[in-house]
Amino acid sequence: MVTRLSSDAGNVADGIVTVIPTIFRLIIELVATFFTLFYYEPRLAIFALSIAPIVAVVCFLLGRKLKVLQVKVQETESAYRSFMQESLSNLLVVKAFANEQYSTDKLVELRDERFYWVLKKSKMGIISSTIMSISFQLGYIAAFAFGAIQLSRKVITYGTMSVFLTLVNRIQAPVMSLAQYVPKVVNILASAGRIIEIQDIPMEEKLENHIEAENIGININNLTFGYTEEEVLEGANIQIRPGEFVAIVGESGIGKTTLVRLIMSFMSEVGGCIEFNNSLGQVEKANAGTRNFISYVPQGNTLFSGTIRENVRMGRLDCTEEEIVEALTMASGYEFVSELPNGLDTVIGESGHGISEGQAQRIAIARALVRKAPFLILDEATSSLDEKTELSVLQGIQNISPRPTCLLITHRRSVLKYCDREICIYEKKIFEQLI
């Protein structure tokens, strides 16, 4: 995706700004020169231009091959960039398993594969340019021979022949230049095709909210979904009433996070129905727009590089300083933030580099709380916190007024005493457990 939005987009932009205007200029130059030569000697003008169809056929055949090679170049660049980015993002994992040499060798392998396709494309470009050059040279020699014959027959003068050869060269020059632009045009078309593939991805269904964003609950009826042909959830049903704290406790891989992603409308092709409702009895089908009702703390470290203030403000960009402090306090994070040298303006690296996992998790929770949404989803959001801090965070959330509806995914049964209900996923169905 990054390669398409940077390298491919750059190819298209360069084509629009440079290549296409140059091609138009060359076409105008070719037409003007042809008619000038045609005025003096129609047969020579037609002969000089007769090479153009041959060139066009050769360009078409070579262009198809070059387009395939250009796509290969971009695909190998994508693989190279992707592996490099993932290796840097997960550098601690690479070091932990002593896989530095493997990662280096893999990167070299991907680089060599990319160089292979770049070299192959370059060779094809050189071959095509050579063929074009030889063709034009032969054309010029033929024009010279034709002019010499006409001169020997005293049909034309030396001056006329000089003009003819000059005009023939002026006709061939733009045609040859156009031929040399074929690889660039091919690059543009190949890159444009890769960008269009992104544009062809269906847009999310995002509807304008029609219900009051207060005291939000959710109804899930006959929910069926699978990443492959095998279903993760099949005919699942659950109702979460406004203001309830509901916990999902269970082993990994049973569909807990999948359920959250479906509620968030991160995935389409869903069977069944997911609807949000409020205490007024209003109902709205889940879509990208209903995320406005939701605050979400995902699994893992999901912080951005920048200041702690900027990370918390991602929850609501127009929040005030007081609201940031309040959210951090409820997340049991303000104490450690205030002790940092620059407080809220302390700069952290990508994925929270520079602070601990527990501290990063508390900032992520504060980011969700500052949103003040009526529906809160915590997906293993307190896994890096000690039990005392975890319970303090949950108590803070329960004390929010009006109390949000909260869906907790956790492995710790100690949090159940703060929940109204416990549900579990078993054999692709959702069941309620007694607490």
Q: Is the domain of 188 the same as that of 331?
A: no
What's the pLDDT band for 377 if we cut at 50, 70, 90? very high
Q: Which residues pair with 218 in a beta bridge?
A: 240, 276
Question: Residue 405: what pLDDT?
Answer: 92
Predicted confidence (pLDDT) at residue 435 exceeds the cutoff of 60: no
Note the pLDDT tens digit of each residue in 69-104: 888 888 898 888 888 888 887 776 788 778 889 889
Q: Where is pLDDT greater, at 48 or 263?
A: 263
Q: Is the domain of 115 the same as that of 227?
A: no
> Is position 325 within any domain?
yes
The amino acid occupying position 32 is: A
Predicted confidence (pLDDT) at residue 17 exceeds the cutoff of 70: yes
C-alpha–C-alpha distance, residues 365 and 383, integer Å: 12
Query: Which among 394, 198, 374, 207 is positioned nearest to 296, based on CA atoms?
Result: 374
Beta strands in 171-256 (DSSP E): 216-225, 233-240, 245-249
Which residues, other chains included, contact 186 with Cβ-Cβ below 8 Å and sequence gap of 6+? 63, 66, 67, 70
> Is position 270 within any domain?
yes
- Pairing assessment for the beta strands 233-240 and 405-410 based on DSSP bridges: unpaired
Cα(first)–Cα(last) distance of the chain, in Å? 45
Question: Residue 113: what pLDDT?
Answer: 92
Question: Residue 425: what pLDDT?
Answer: 84
How much of the chain exceeds pLDDT 90, in percent? 20
Q: What is the pTM of this model?
A: 0.71
Q: Is the domain of 131 the same as that of 68?
A: yes
Q: Mean pLDDT over all residues of the chain?
A: 83
Do you know the residue count of the chain? 435
Question: Residue 406: what pLDDT?
Answer: 92
Q: Is the domain of 56 the same as that of 130?
A: yes
Q: Would you list the DSSP string of 157-181?
A: -HHHHHHHHHHHHHHHHHHHHHHHT
What's the pLDDT band for 196 if we cut at 50, 70, 90? confident
Note the pLDDT tens digit of each residue in 146-185: 778 877 887 777 777 777 777 667 666 776 777 677 777 8
Which of 199, 232, 266 is the last residue before a domain boundary?
Answer: 199
Judged on CB neighbours under 10 Å (0-12, 13-18, 19+), 177 is: middle
Q: Where is pLDDT greater, at 348 or 37?
A: 348
- Give the range of the structural domain holding residue 180, as residue numbers without chain letter: 2-199
Averaged over 276-288, what is the pLDDT?
89
Predicted confidence (pLDDT) at residue 24 exceeds the cutoff of 90: no
Number of domains in the chain: 2
Could you give phi then psi for residue 17, rounded to 5 degrees?
Answer: -80, -35
Note the pLDDT tens digit of each residue in 224-271: 988 888 888 888 888 999 989 999 877 777 888 888 899 988 887 788
> Is position 204 within any domain?
no
What are the angstrom distances between the C-alpha of 80 and each of 3, 104, 112, 161, 261?
A: 10, 12, 10, 57, 29
Q: Is the domain of 85 the same as that of 143?
A: yes
Q: Is the domain of 294 the same as that of 418?
A: yes
The torsion region of residue 380 among left (phi > 0), alpha (psi -120 to 50) and beta comes to: left
Q: Is the domain of 237 the same as that of 182?
A: no
Predicted confidence (pLDDT) at residue 330 exceeds the cutoff of 70: yes
Judged on CB neighbours under 10 Å (0-12, 13-18, 19+), 379 is: buried
What are the angstrom distances between the C-alpha of 346 and each of 172, 329, 338, 342, 349?
A: 64, 17, 10, 5, 10
Q: Is the domain of 400 the same as that of 339?
A: yes
Q: Is the domain of 167 the same as that of 121?
A: yes
Averaged over 396-425, what is the pLDDT?
85
The answer to whether residues 299 and 380 touch, using CB atoms and an 8 Å cutoff, is yes
Question: Residue 402: what pLDDT?
Answer: 86
Could you give phi then psi for residue 140, rounded to 5 degrees?
Answer: -65, -40
Q: Which residues pair with 295 in a beta bridge?
A: 376
Q: How many CA atoms lie within 13 A of 70 on its CB side?
A: 24
C-alpha–C-alpha distance, residues 404 and 393, integer Å: 14
Which residues, other chains included, contact 40 with Cβ-Cβ below 8 Å and sequence gap of 6+? 160, 163, 164, 167
Which of 199, 227, 261 is the last residue before a domain boundary?
Answer: 199
Q: Is the domain of 220 the same as that of 195?
A: no
> Is position 257 within any domain?
yes
Q: Is the domain of 153 the same as that of 241?
A: no
CATH number of the domain enclosing 305: 3.40.50.300
> Is position 211 within any domain?
no
> Is position 135 within any domain?
yes
Averaged over 340-352, what is the pLDDT?
86
Which of 167, 199, 231 is the last residue before a domain boundary?
Answer: 199
What's the pLDDT band for 369 if we cut at 50, 70, 90? very high
Averaged over 186-206, what is the pLDDT?
82
What's the pLDDT band for 49 if we cut at 50, 70, 90? low
Q: Would you list the DSSP string of 362-421?
A: HHHHHHHHTT--SEEEEESTTTTS-HHHHHHHHHHHHTSSSPPEEEEEES-GGGGGG-SE
Note the pLDDT tens digit of each residue in 100-117: 898 899 999 999 999 999
Q: Is the domain of 341 the same as that of 235?
A: yes
